[in-house]
Every structure is written in structure tokens, then in C-alpha cells.
Amino acid sequence: MKYKILGKSGIKVSEIGFGAWTIALDWWGKKIEDDEAKRMLKKAYDLGINFFETADMYGKGKSEKLIGEVFKEMRDEIVISTKYGYDFENVEQIGHKELPQRFDSVFTENALKNSLKRLQTDYIDVYGLHNPKLNHIRDDKIFQTLDQKIKEEKIKTYQVALGPAIGWTQEGLEAMNRKNVSAVQTVYNILEQIPGNELIENGERKNVGILVRVPDASGILTGKVKADTKIDEKDHRSVRKGEWVKASLKKVDQLRPIAERNDLTITELAIKFILSKKAVSSVFPTVVSVDEIESFAAMSDGKYLNSPDMKEINDLYSSWPPYEIKATIQST
């Protein structure tokens, strides 16, 4: 396992991180029982993964509790990132519908206190705003509260996680101007490079690490999703339409020669493409088994794509049609 420094924070994180939402939610085609979830967390650590990323709303605190139970005796050996901002305790979530958001000082204080308790720790390495909108990014009071938590040594640094879905370019760019934002998290993969490319470029200039989720393009790049795959409406991937799946599979066929001449699978090519970006600090593959953790961890071997291959991928990407990305609606 290879490691990078998370932006300006000085915190060393594994290139492959553990995105812990799947162990608390059955939104990826599989319900993971607690015993299996703990085995997955332990296996990740044994393979050199030290970066565990979650959020308080994942399973209404369940993900945090599992991480706390597994690592309470080895807290200083891992890096914990958790996020807040959704009022999941007072509002029932229906399907994948977004919950009300709050980032005020009272809500932040309570959310942080509860996360610390569930994680069984007295500090969080990377605290995060969970899918904030532009008005939140521009609210000085929110960041003053987080800066105070750094002074109190309750958190070491913080990130801004963009979402839901792909987009939120302006949020990411403006977040990087905040003094103690060490990382911005975004959806990014070899098939969906907007807004990631711009965020990566800006992150390198600003010394802000980029954290990547959905590197597998919702299963397209791992072979889990094919043209005839039926996805349950409760599954997080159900937002992907059939037309998108078919178009994406054609793009994969165009990438296959690059993978084959490097003796890589498409999945390996997709992960190494991301890891070859200097500003990317860590990638969170979507994992639902120990075997998948082993497979992704092995991809962090210090071997990256060369410049000609990266250029060929970029040229291919430039030839593909654009897609819709999410953005805050600006008032006129």
C-alpha cells in the first residue's frame, strides 16, 4: 500500500481508502451484517488501508459505531474521516430523497459530540461538510465554528464533500479558498471527469487533496453492471438510466486496448488512472466483501500510468459527448 499526504493537513493517508457507507446501508445490492462488516474493516487495516471515511447519517450512526468498535484500541494507527450536515435524527428519510441540512454552530456541536461518542474517540482526523450548497460554502460562521473545533483539538482538519450525485463545481472551487479545508471529495472516474479535472487542477495549485468516490462508475468499470443488468429501485445505482449504461459500455470498449497493452483489467486501469493524478490523495472504491477489499488494495502498488497512456485517455474523453452535472441554482 502506498500513502500520500492529505493536502495541507500533513496527515498521511492510504491511496486506497475505505468508504464505509456500504457497511451500514443496503444501497448497493447487498445487506452487510455486522460481523462481516467488522471483518471487512479489519482486513482493510491488515492490507495497509489506514483511511476510513464515513458519515453520521450512514445507517443513522451505524457505520461510525462499527468503526469505533473495531478500532477503539488502535485509534492512533488509523485516520478517521466523518461528515455531518443532514438532520437524520429528526426527519425520516424516504428512499434516496435528500434530508434537510443544517450546519449552524448548535447543530455542528451536537453532531460532532455524537460522532465522537459513536466512534469511541476524543478527536476526529478529518471532519466534513456533507454535500453543502453554495450558500453554506460562503457562510463564514460555519467555518469559524470548525476552526474553533480545531483549536479545541476535537478535529485536526476538515473537508468538503460535494454531492449528492456528480457536479457542484463552484462549491468545490470556492471551498478550496478556505484556510483549513484540506480536502474536497467528489465523484470522479475515467468515464466522468467533469468537474473532477478542474477540481484536481485547482487542488494541486491550492494544496488541497482530492478524495474520490464512485471510481467504478457505479459498477460499469468493475463489470458488475452490464447492458442487461436489472437494478432494484432501492439500489443507489438505480439513478443510472439504461441509455447511460449502454453508452458507458461502448466507452469501456474504447479503453480496453490501453488496459490490455499494460496487462491491466479495466478496473485496474480505472483506479490507476485516478491514482496517477498528483492531487488525488485517496480513492474510495465501493466494496461489499473482503475479496473486493483485497483486490482494490493490491492496485496501490506504486505503478502508475505513463504520460502517453494518460494523453490517450484524455483524448478519448474529449471525443465523448458531455453530460449533465449538478449545480446550485443561482438567483438572478
pLDDT at 325: 85
Does pLDDT of 184 surpass 50? Answer: yes
pLDDT at 224: 83
Task: Note the Cα 299 to chain centre separation in Å.
Answer: 17
Mean pLDDT, range 265-292, rounded to an integer: 97
- Among the residue ranges 31-45, 144-158, 316-330, the one predicted with the least confidence is 316-330
Task: Note the Cα 190 to chain centre separation in Å.
Answer: 15
Please report, for residues 101, 103, 171, 239, the alpha-carbon distance to residue 131 in angstroms, rounded to integers and kept in the order given.
9, 11, 9, 18
Would you say 54 and 81 are in contact if contact means Cβ atoms under 8 Å apart?
yes
List, for residues 224-276, the tens digit of each pLDDT value: 877 766 655 554 545 556 788 899 999 999 999 999 999 999 999 999 999 99
Please report, for residues 33, 40, 71, 165, 284, the alpha-carbon distance to residue 291 in angstroms, rounded to integers and kept in the order given.
16, 9, 21, 27, 15
pLDDT at 95: 58
113 by DSSP, 3-state: which? helix
pLDDT at 332: 38
- How does residue 128 score in pLDDT terms, banded at 50, 70 and 90? very high
User: Could you say which DSSP state residue 86 is in?
Assistant: B
Does pLDDT of 331 surpass 60? Answer: no
Please report, for residues 32, 112, 128, 138, 209, the alpha-carbon distance to residue 146 in angstroms, rounded to integers and kept in the order given.
33, 10, 9, 14, 18
Cα–Cα distance measured from residue 195 to residue 213, given in angstroms and rounded to the nearest whole number? 13
Nearest to 24 by CA among 70, 57, 71: 57
Instruction: Work out the end-to-end distance of the chain between its first and last CA atoms, rounded to an integer number of angstroms.
Output: 49
pLDDT at 318: 96
Tell how many helices (H) and how many strands (E) occur in the chain: 11, 10
Predicted TM-score of the model (pTM): 0.93
CATH 3.65.10.10 corresponds to the domain 3-319: no
pLDDT at 116: 98
Q: Which residue has the higher pLDDT, 150 or 243?
A: 150
pLDDT at 98: 82
Domain ranges of the chain: 3-319
Q: Which residue has the higher pLDDT, 90 or 12?
A: 12
Mean pLDDT, range 15-27, rounded to an integer: 92
Q: φ, ψ for residue 283 (rounded to 5)?
A: -120, 135
- Stretch (H or E) spanning 283: strand 280-284
Cell numbers for 249: 459500455
Q: Indicate the residue type of 273.
A: F
Does pLDDT of 295 surpass 50? Answer: yes
Q: What are the residues whose beta carbons fall under 8 Å from the beta carbon of 54, sequence distance 6 or more?
A: 19, 20, 21, 24, 63, 64, 67, 80, 81, 82, 83
Nearest to 53 by CA among 14, 87, 102: 14
For a pLDDT cut of 90, what percent of the chain falls above it?
A: 83
Please report, for residues 2, 29, 77, 90, the alpha-carbon distance to residue 72 in angstroms, rounded to integers and kept in the order given.
24, 29, 10, 28
List, for residues 202-219, the tens digit of each pLDDT value: 999 999 999 999 999 989
- The mean pLDDT of the chain is 93
Mean pLDDT, range 221-226, rounded to an integer: 84
- How does residue 328 score in pLDDT terms, banded at 50, 70 and 90? confident
Cα–Cα distance measured from residue 79 to residue 130, given in angstroms and rounded to the nearest whole number? 18
Does pLDDT of 185 surpass 60? Answer: yes
pLDDT at 96: 60
